[in-house]
Structure 1
Amino acid sequence: MLCVFNGDVMVLSPSWTTYKPQSQLAGHKAIVIHTKQEDEWRLTPSLVEQVVMENKLSPHRLLIMCNPDNPTGTSYQAHHLNQLSEVFRKHNIIVLSDEIYARLSFEGKHESIAKFYPEGTILSTGISKWASAGGWRLGYHIYPDKLSEMRKAVASGASHTYSCAPAPVQHAALWLYKWTDEVQDYVLHERRILHAVALYTFRELTSVGVKVVMSTAGYYMFPNFEILRPALNARGITTGNQMCDAIMNEASVALMAGGPAFLRPVDDLTVRLCYINFDGGKAMQASRKRGTEGPLDDDFVVEHCRTLMEAIQALKKWVETQLDSERE
C-alpha cells in the first residue's frame, strides 16, 4: 500500500517498529507525530492540527495508527475516534488503521475509526494475534468505495510480490471466521487471561513508582522508568538501551527500549513490556475449569502464569534496589 501511495506519510511515536522503515523503503520521508503519556499515548486532534500547520504537506496524506496499540496497549474509545474523524476529514487525511489486536480487547468492545470515518479509512487486520496463529500470517485490508482505485493499485502491486496465502492457512481462516461457539469461547478465555496478567503487571510496577498506562487489549504495555533517572545517572546509565541491558544482566528480564526502535528519544526510559511469558495452553485449561463468571484474580496469575509472575517480581525488585541505592 505504501509503495503505490503518492503523498506524505505520518506515523506516531511511540509506534510499531516497522511503520517508519516500511515508509522509507517505499520512498517516503515519514513525518513522526509524538503522542504523550498524559494522553495515554493516544493521537489527539490538536496533534494532527499541529503537524498539518508545521509541515508543508502534499494534497495526498496518509496516517498510520494502531488500535489497539502496539507497543502501548492503549485503545481509542468512541468519543476519541469521533473527534479524530472530524480533523481527518477536514485535512483530507487517509487513515490506515492497523486493528490486528481488535479481538483481544479485554472488554470485548473494540471501536474502529472506520465506523466514524468510513470514507477515508483503510482497515488492516488478520488472524495472527487473536487466533494465536503467529507465523501463519494471513492479513487483509478493507477499503471504502471512495478509495477503490487505491485498492486496485494495491492489489496489482501485491500480485508482483506474492500469489496467495498457503492453502492450509486459507482453510483455517475460513473456519475461524465462521465465529463458532468454539472460537468465541477461545477468544473469551484468551482475553480474560490477558486482562488478569495485564492488571497484575500494572499493579506491581506502579506500586514501586513506575509510570504505566494500563493496557486495554493485547499483550503489551509501555512502562516509563523515569523515576530511576537519578539513580541510573549515578551509574552512568543514560539511555533506554543501556537500562534494558542492565535489567537483562542484573534481573534476567528482557525488555525493549522505547527509543529508538519505537520512535521515542534515545534517552527516554520507556520500554515495551510483553506479558505473555507463560504457558498459554495450561492457562487456558485452568481458565475454562473456573468457568466464565467473573474475572481472574492475582492468585490465578501466580499459579498458572508463574514464569511471567516471577519476571515481574524480579523487575520490581530491581527497581526497588535502584531506588534504595539512590537513598543511600
Structure 2
Amino acid sequence: MRPLNPVIAACPPSGIRRFFDIAAEMDDVISLGVGEPDFVTPWRIREAGIYALEHGYTTYTSNAGLPRLRELICDDLATRYGATYDPREECLITTGVSEGLDLVLRVLLEPGDEVIVPEPCYVAYEPCVGFAGGTPVRVPTRWEDDFAIDADVVAAAITPRTKAILIGSPANPTGAVQPRAALDALVRLAREHDLYLVSDEIYDRLTYDGAHTCLGTLAPERTVLLGGFSKAHAMTGWRVGWICAPQAVAELCVRVHQYTMLCAPHVSQLAAVEALSGPDDDVDAMVADYDRRRRVFVKGLREIGLDCPEPGGAFYAFPSIRSSGLDSETFAERLLHAESVAVVPGNVFGPSGEGHIRCSYATALPQLEEALVRIARFLNAG
C-alpha cells in the first residue's frame, strides 16, 4: 500500500487518553483527569435547546453562524474587556474551540512556518500546528515563576520563519493566568517581528484571584481570539466555539469552515444564544464552587507534601511530584494501580511539565478529599 500522511502518522495518540483507557476498566477509580465541568448544562440553556428541537430548528445556519449569536459574543467581549470586533466581518461560530484552532492555523500558516508555543500547554497545540504544515517551537515556562511567559525566552526563539505565537490563558494544564505585563511584552515582540498572536481564552470566565486580560484588547490588529461555551457554561457536548479575528483572517476561516464543517449545529447555537442572553447567576455559582474546591484541594496537596503553584484560573492544579523521586509517568501509573486515582502525567504537556501531574478539581468535593487521602497513602508507602 502507498504510504499515508507522514505528519499524521508520526503524531502520537493523546497522552491523556492512555490513562483513562486503563482507568475505565478498573473499579472505584477517582478521576482527576477529565478537563470537563462536572455540572450539567444549566436548565435554561437546555430548555432553549429543547424548544429549538420542538420547533424544528434543525437546519443549517449560515456558514459564519447565527447573526444574533455573533452579535452577543462581540457585545460580551466589548462589555467585559473592551475588545471590539465587528460581528458581521470579524466573528464566526465554530464546532467547538478545537475546530477554531484548526481553522486558524490552516489559514495563518504556510509550509515550514514556525509557531512559538510556550509550554506546558494543551496537548492539541503542537499537533494542530503540524497538521497545518507548520513547525511548533517550544519555549519553556517555570513553575517557580507561576508559569508566566518570559518574553526574553520567546524572543530568543524567533527566527525568520516565525509566523505566530500561540498561548492559552487561563491555561490548561497549569491553571496559570498570564499577567498583564507578560502579555504586553508579547505584544511588543509581535509588533516588532510582525507576528500573529493566537490566544485560546476558553477558560476566560474561570478566574479567581484577579481579572483576566483579553489579548484582543492589547493588539486587535494581529490577535486571533478563540473562545466558546464548553467550560464556563458547562456545554462541552453542545460543541459551540467562536473565532474573533481581523477581517482578512476571519474571512478565510469561514472559507475553510464552509467546506469542512459547513456550520455549527443549529440547536447548539440557539442554546448558546440563551447562555449569553440570560443572567450570569449559573456561571457565577459554578465559578464560586470551583474556587472553593480549588482552595481545599491545593491546601490539601501542600499538607501531604506536594508543592503546588496556586492556580489562578481554569480548574486544574499542577503540583510538583519531584519529592517522590519518581518521574511523572511512573508516578501517575503507580498511583492509578495502587490507589485507583487517575491523574495526567505532566510531561504529556511538554518538557516543562515533567516532575508534575495535572489534577482536575472539576470533581465533587468529597471525591477530591478522598483522592487526597489516597495520594497521601501512596506517598507514605513510597
- TM, length-normalised to structure 2: 0.69
Q: Report how far residue 207 of structure 1 moved.
A: 2.0
The secondary structure found in structure 1 opposite 2:165 is strand
Q: Report how far residue 107 of structure 1 moved.
A: 4.5
Higher relative contact order, structure no. (Cα contacts within 8 Å, ≥ 6 residues apart) = 2
Equivalent residue, structure 2, for 1:113: 215
Q: What are the Cα deviations for residues 195-226 of structure 1, in whole angstroms up to 9, with x where unaligned? A: 11111111111123322111112211211101
Equivalent-residue separation in structure 2 for 1:152 and 1:57 (angstroms): 26
Equivalent residue, structure 1, for 2:106: 3
Unmatched segments (≥5 aa) in structure 1: 233-238, 279-304, 323-328
Unmatched segments (≥5 aa) in structure 2: 1-103
Equivalent residue for 2:349, pick from 240, 256, 262:
262
Question: How many residues get paired?
Answer: 276
Q: What are the Cα deviations for residues 148-191 of structure 1, in whole angstroms up to 9, with x where unaligned? A: 2222222111211111111210111111111x32xx11111111
Equivalent residue for 2:323, pick from 214, 224, 227:
227
Cα root mean square deviation, aligned? 1.7
Equivalent-residue separation in structure 1 for 2:235 and 2:317 (angstroms): 21
Equivalent residue for 1:198, pick from 283, 291, 294:
294
Asked if structure 2 preserves the Cα contact closer than 8 Å seen for 1:9 and 1:62, the reply is yes
Counterpart amino acid of residue 361 in structure 2: Y
User: What fraction of aligned residue pairs are identical, expressed as a percent?
Assistant: 25
Counterpart check, 1:17 vs 2:123:
yes
Asked if structure 2 preserves the Cα contact closer than 8 Å seen for 1:68 and 1:76, the reply is yes
CA pair 87-265 structure 1, distance change in 2 beyond 3 A = closer
Equivalent-residue separation in structure 2 for 1:155 and 1:141 (angstroms): 10
Q: Report how far residue 192 of structure 1 moved.
A: 0.8
Asked if structure 1 preserves the Cα contact closer than 8 Å seen for 2:142 and 2:352, the reply is no
Task: After TM superposition, list the pairs within 5 Å mapping 1:155-234 onto structure 2.
Answer: 155-178=254-277, 180-181=278-279, 184-229=280-325, 232=326
Task: After TM superposition, list the pairs within 5 Å mapping 1:49-198 onto structure 2.
Answer: 49-52=155-158, 56-58=159-161, 61-107=163-209, 109-144=211-246, 148-178=247-277, 180-181=278-279, 184-198=280-294
- TM, length-normalised to structure 1: 0.80
The secondary structure found in structure 1 opposite 2:105 is coil
Equivalent-residue separation in structure 2 for 1:64 and 1:88 (angstroms): 11
Asked if structure 2 preserves the Cα contact closer than 8 Å seen for 1:243 and 1:269, the reply is no
Equivalent-residue separation in structure 2 for 1:195 and 1:106 (angstroms): 6
Asked if structure 2 preserves the Cα contact closer than 8 Å seen for 1:99 and 1:124, the reply is yes
Asked if structure 2 preserves the Cα contact closer than 8 Å seen for 1:208 and 1:320, the reply is no
Counterpart amino acid of residue 227 in structure 1: S
The secondary structure found in structure 1 opposite 2:305 is coil
Equivalent residue, structure 2, for 1:272: 358
Counterpart check, 1:317 vs 2:374:
no
Q: What are the Cα deviations for residues 236-284 of structure 1, in whole angstroms up to 9, with x where unaligned? A: xxx321211100111211011111x211269x22111111222xxxxxx
